[in-house]
Amino acid sequence: MRKIIIAGNWKMNKDLKESIDLASSVKRSLYDMEEVEAVLCPTFTSLGDVSDIITGTTIRLGAQDVYWERGGAFTGEISSYMLKSVGCAYCIVGHSERRQFFGETNETVNKKAKALLKEGIMPIVCVGEKLDERKAKKEFDVVKDHIVNSLKGFTREDMLRTVIAYEPVWAIGTGINATKEQAQEMHKYIRGLINGIYGEDVANAVRIQYGGSVKPENIKELISQEDVDGALVGGASLKADLFVAIVKGCL
Ligand code: PGA
């Protein structure tokens, strides 16, 4: 059985006080949520404080990015070992915004994910096609490229500790989510790719989140799909009541 995982990607939103307020509100409703794994991914500057708030609850902490070296002369970067020290259980890598605005490639995603796994942090590896790629019917090729190359060299154990987030770029922040059929079709395809590389046991265990305009109104139908194991939530994770409703919508 794959445990549903709902992660809130706060992106570059919320200062320290706002982060503390949001995490505290979420905690009030989800502190003992056993059935669904809820993960909060604040900015680097709020990780430590959010960590303090959710320690001792079932809510887990995630970061939004990482650099692959452990330490050294890399001004401005944060390593997996540092994320570990503030209590991160997860870290998003390869989000489309990082691919689009910050030069992230499958190769750098791969290095980052491996650095996280080394520290026992579970990577949430984002994949997904842009609108023009879907229009050109290239969505499966693009996702295959992301999967195969972002996960290159992963052992079976690495794969079992990795979460995949399928996020069609055209659905992110647009209010237009993929239909449940579109999500299921791609999630099944992704699971098939993992099956091809690691076999059925691993493929059946790996969790695949959907991301892109997830809200309380559409979570139920998305999560009802066989291969949809959770969601990576942007905009709606910035409001405690919406995020809580999404998590509870999975019950
Ligand atoms: P959205 O963002 O929920 O605001 O569409 C999703 C994401 O980018 O992870």
Q: Which residues contact 42 (CB under 8 A, 6 or more apart)?
A: 10, 14, 19, 23, 50
pLDDT-derived band at 1 (thresholds 50, 70, 90) equals confident
pLDDT at 92 over 90: yes
The CA 95 to ligand 1 mean position distance, Å, reads 10
pLDDT for the residue numbered 155: 98
61: CB partners within 8 A, 6+ apart: 39, 40, 41, 47, 50, 51, 54, 86, 87, 88, 89, 90
pLDDT score for 25: 98
Residue 9 CB less than 6 A away from ligand 1: yes
Assign domain 5-248 to its CATH architecture: Alpha-Beta Barrel (3.20)
Q: What is the pLDDT of residue 67?
A: 98
9 Cα to the center of ligand 1, angstroms? 7
Token pair for residue 41? 């991914």
- 139-154 mean pLDDT: 98
Average pLDDT, the chain: 98
| Confidence (pLDDT) at 240 | 98
What are the pLDDT digits (tens) for 33-51? Answer: 999 999 999 999 999 999 9
Nearest to 113 by CA among 101, 105, 125: 125
Please indicate whether residue 167 is annotated as part of the active site.
yes
The whole-number average pLDDT for the span 204-228 is 98
Q: What is the pLDDT of residue 24?
A: 98
Question: What number is the average pLDDT over the span 87-114?
Answer: 98
Task: Find the catalytic residue in 37, 95, 104, 187.
Answer: 95
Contact status, residue 180 vs residue 219, Cβ threshold 8 Å: no
Task: Return the SS3 of 63.
Answer: strand
Mean pLDDT of 75-102: 98
| pTM recorded for the entire structure | 0.98
Distance 29 CA to ligand 1 centre (A): 22
CB 249 near ligand 1, within 6 Å: no
Q: Residue 178: is its pLDDT beyond 90?
A: yes
Q: Determine the average pLDDT of the residues in 62-86.
A: 98
